[in-house]
Structure 1
Amino acid sequence: MQQTTIATGTRAPRPRLITSIAASPEELREAQRLRYRVFIEGMDLAALARPDGLDCDEFDEHCDHLLVRDAITQEVVGTYRVLAPAGARRLGRLYSEGEFDMGRLNPLRSRIIEAGRACIHPSYRGGSVIMLLWAALAEYMHRHGCDYLAGCASISLADGGHNAVAVFRELRETRMGPAEYRVTPHLPFPHSRIEPAASAILPPLLKGYMRSGAWVCGDPAWDPDFDSADLFLLMPLANLDSRYAKHYGVDGTVEMAIAA
Structure 2
Amino acid sequence: MQTSIVQAHVRATSAKLVLSMASTPEELHEVQRLRYKVFIETMGLSSLAREDGLDSDEFDEHCDHLIVRDSDTLLVVGTYRLLSATRARKIGRVYSENEFDLGRLNNLRGRMVEAGRACIHPDYRGGSVIMLLWSGLAEYMRRERCDYLVGCASISLADGGHNAVAVYQSLAARHMAPMEYRVTPHLPFPIDKVAPALKPQIPPLVKGYLRSGAWICGDPAWDPDFESADLFLMLPLANLDTRYARHYGVDGEAAAA
TM-score by length of 1: 0.90
Partner of 2:3: none
| Contact 1:211 1:247 (C-alpha < 8 Å) held by counterparts | no
Partner of 2:187: 187
Local SS of the residue matching 2:115: strand
Computed over aligned residues only, the root mean square deviation of the Cα atoms, in angstroms, reads 1.3
Partner of 1:85: 85
| Contact 1:138 1:241 (C-alpha < 8 Å) held by counterparts | no
Partner of 2:254: none
Alpha-carbon offset, residue 48 of structure 1: 0.8
Instruction: Figure out how many residues of one structure are paired with residues of the other and give that number.
Output: 243
| Contact 2:162 2:194 (C-alpha < 8 Å) held by counterparts | yes
| Contact 1:134 1:244 (C-alpha < 8 Å) held by counterparts | no
Task: Please state if 1:98 is matched with 2:98.
Answer: yes
Counterparts of 1:3 and 1:241 in 2: how far apart (Å)? 24
Partner of 2:73: 73
| Contact 1:33 1:54 (C-alpha < 8 Å) held by counterparts | yes
| Contact 1:138 1:237 (C-alpha < 8 Å) held by counterparts | no
Alpha-carbon offset, residue 86 of structure 1: 1.3
Counterparts of 2:215 and 2:225 in 1: how far apart (Å)? 25
Partner of 1:219: 219
Counterparts of 2:199 and 2:247 in 1: how far apart (Å)? 23
Counterparts of 1:217 and 1:5 in 2: how far apart (Å)? 34
Partner of 1:173: 173
Partner of 1:107: 107
Counterparts of 1:228 and 1:120 in 2: how far apart (Å)? 18
Counterparts of 2:193 and 2:9 in 1: how far apart (Å)? 48
| Contact 2:99 2:221 (C-alpha < 8 Å) held by counterparts | yes
Counterparts of 1:48 and 1:158 in 2: how far apart (Å)? 16
Q: Answer 1 or 2: higher relative contact order, Cα 8 Å, separation at least 6.
A: 1
Partner of 1:159: 159
| Contact 2:111 2:148 (C-alpha < 8 Å) held by counterparts | yes
Task: Please state if 1:208 is matched with 2:214.
Answer: no
Task: Please state if 1:4 is matched with 2:10.
Answer: yes
Partner of 2:236: 236
Partner of 1:253: none
Counterparts of 2:152 and 2:32 in 1: how far apart (Å)? 18
Counterparts of 1:45 and 1:140 in 2: how far apart (Å)? 32
Alpha-carbon offset, residue 84 of structure 1: 0.1
Residue identity in the other structure for 1:144: E
**CA deviation map 1:165-208 (0-9, x unaligned):** 11101111100011100000000000011111111110111111
Counterparts of 2:157 and 2:55 in 1: how far apart (Å)? 21
Greater Cα shift, 200-209 or 178-187: 200-209
| Contact 2:21 2:66 (C-alpha < 8 Å) held by counterparts | yes
Counterparts of 1:238 and 1:149 in 2: how far apart (Å)? 11
Local SS of the residue matching 1:20: strand
Partner of 2:62: 62
Alpha-carbon offset, residue 158 of structure 1: 0.9
Residue identity in the other structure for 1:134: W
Counterparts of 1:122 and 1:212 in 2: how far apart (Å)? 24
Partner of 2:144: 144
Counterparts of 2:46 and 2:117 in 1: how far apart (Å)? 18
Q: Which runs of 5+ in 1 are unaligned?
A: 9-14, 250-260
| Contact 1:141 1:237 (C-alpha < 8 Å) held by counterparts | no
Counterparts of 1:190 and 1:247 in 2: how far apart (Å)? 37
Percent identity over the alignment is 68
TM-score by length of 2: 0.92
